[in-house]
Chains A and B, each alone.
Chain A
Amino acid sequence: NAGVMQNPRHLVRRRGQEARLRCSPMKGHSHVYWYRQLPEEGLKFMVYLQKENIIDESGMPKERFSAEFPKEGPSILRIQQVVRGDSAAYFCASSPPNVETYEQYFGPGTRLTVT
């Protein structure tokens, strides 16, 4: 059973470009979470999705950031018009549809560098 997969692992973008980060959850998992970790800082929750639904996006910046988890295919975190402050590690986690446990399993992350 493959773990959570994220790609690309490293992404370099110039200011003003768009960044697309992909996350494929573990098999059987229907909940996806995105987190951002700035250098030397802790994990910050961004968004929680289930298939075709955004459940909680309270951690998402209001502008330039969007996320989706379509019926087919990976979850996508999209950052438009990137700025230097967007440089960070973006982790995706998934969990099974078991409301009792909510254990999350993380992917290896995408390290975004904005030049």
Chain B
Amino acid sequence: EPEVTQTPSHQVTQMGQEVILRCVPISNHLYFYWYRQILGQKVEFLVSFYNNEISEKSEIFDDQFSVERPDGSNFTLKIRSTKLEDSAMYFCASSEIARETQYFGPGTRLLVL
């Protein structure tokens, strides 16, 4: 069964460093999303991406964040200069069309020291 994959599973970084989180959505899916979950809290929407552009972003998704689909398979989230409060689990999700179910990857746990 096709699934969303994410790398790395864990990342530890120093405050101020750049990180790139990678996702490979399900191959025939056209809509891509990033969410984050601070430890013990709810899952929060960051950004949605369709047709090579951002379709919606939350207020969390400030200038420090960017997304890219560099090739036909990868979907990346870059945090330019990490802060302590960026420590969270980051989930990538994809759906075939917008109103269909979003399937989530296993997440990347980011720890900023």
Task: Say whether A associates with B.
Answer: no
